[in-house]
Chains A and B, each alone.
Chain A
Amino acid sequence: MIANDNIKQDIEQLSGQKLSDCYQCGACTAGCPTAFAMDPVPSQSIRLLQLGRYDEILNAPGIWLCAACNVCGERCPRGVDYGKIADTLRTIVLRNKITHVTLEQVDNKFILDAPQQAFIAAFRKFTT
């Protein structure tokens, strides 16, 4: 659907990460603060990419739960930064003009209450 013929090259180039470097130890998932709600979790996402199941992961809800906290990249013994891969996957979706969040979907009480930093960050990561 979104994935084109160059998808693997695109992901590796944009994220600066080599997908085959991951040996599936799961340290990224163990440290991820939102893994409890994430589907698929970081290590599974990388595995799906290694297997060439690009569309599956580009359409998965899991990539939108990354809070960019960078624990995964910090702790990876193979130097793979899943945060950068997730950022790239979201960017590929967004560059296909598929927006993830609209202002109407956001709870009004947050709009009045929360620091604007939250909205700037969220709308940068979640909108085209």
Chain B
Amino acid sequence: MKQLAYYPGCTLYTKSKNLDLCARESAQILGFELKELETWNCCGAIYSTVQDDIANQVAPIRNLIEAQKISNKLVTLCAACYNVLKRSNNYLLHKDNEIYRKRINNFLETEYDGKTEVVHYLETLKYDIGFETLKLKVKKNLNGLKVGSYYGCLMLRPSEELNFDDPDNPMMMDDMFSALGATAVDFPFKGECCGGYVLVNKPEVATKCSQTILESLVSAGAECVATTCPLCQYNIDNQQKLMSKQFNLPIFYFTQLLSLALGVDEKILNLNNHYIDPKPLLKQKGLI
């Protein structure tokens, strides 16, 4: 079984265990193993764009170095980790940053040259496994489930650096859901920001951002939503209780629905870890 270095990140070990566990289980079924880094530390959760801010680059780069012990690819799940790790690697490789590259390497006592390729789990599914192969592994077809794929900012932008998908019309997650038999709902706010960490100092602003996204999803006919980021999930799920409109829209991690389709035990999905209960919808569709 092919082993790929895997970086879970802080939130996947606590609040979002189901995002992590579902991904590991699904990987086993699809024929690869997410091999967690032996030691890892928090990536910092947000990338610093300030040119001389090398202190914030050290933590993510330590993880990139650690990955080399397992594979040249480092798989991530959380959109924030993906963004930070990939951009830190780019920072190190940038021609103008040679002096910083030396300084960071001196500090870490390494000779790291930026060889680790940071990929998202979705990219592994698309490019290494292939959605056609994924289709053959489906045990429980998600037929009839209308899913809105919400990518958020951190997977898509800056597109020049991340090169993940079209920043204005991403399709990777939609294509995965089509392979699982679900109906991928197209809506214009796929890459709109949920408000992110602004939640901490101005919750009313973040909630308004999230509400705009939910309005767009509902008017496009989505019955549920899939995300890749624990903070997006929290903002558009839990913050529904503070919104001026009632949406009652269940918000999943994409790996939960992937696991459901691949026949993973329902306990691992942890469907109780939601503010809007997704079970009635899944029962109605005959999926649980």
Contacts and interface: CB of A to CB of B under 8 A. Distances in A.
B11 A116 contact: yes
Contact of A73 (B42, B46, B158): B158
Interface stretch (A19-27, A44-52, A63-71): A63-71
A115 B52 contact: no
A69 to B, nearest CB: 3
B157 A69 contact: yes
Interface stretch (B67-75, B106-114, B200-208): B200-208
Interface in B44-100: 44-53, 56, 78, 80
Nearest to A100: B201
A124 B203 contact: no
Interface string A115-126: 111111111111
B193 interface: yes
Chain A interface residue bracket vs B: 35 or more
Secondary structure of the B side of the interface? loop
A91 B54 CA distance: 13
A32 B44 CA distance: 24
Secondary structure of the A side of the interface? helix
Given A87-B48, A125-B46, A118 B193 contact: no
Interface stretch (B23-31, B230-238, B260-268): B230-238
B228 interface: no
B53 A121 contact: no
A84 B50 CA distance: 7
Contacts of B49: 15-16, 68, 81, 83-84, 87-88
A73 B209 CA distance: 19
Contacts of B45: 117, 120-121, 124
Nearest to A73: B158
A2 interface: no
Interface string B4-30: 000001110011100000000000000
A74 interface: yes
B196 interface: yes
Interface of B: 9-11, 14-16, 42, 44-53, 56, 78, 80, 153, 157-159, 167, 192-193, 195-203, 205-206, 208-209, 212, 230-231, 233-234, 238
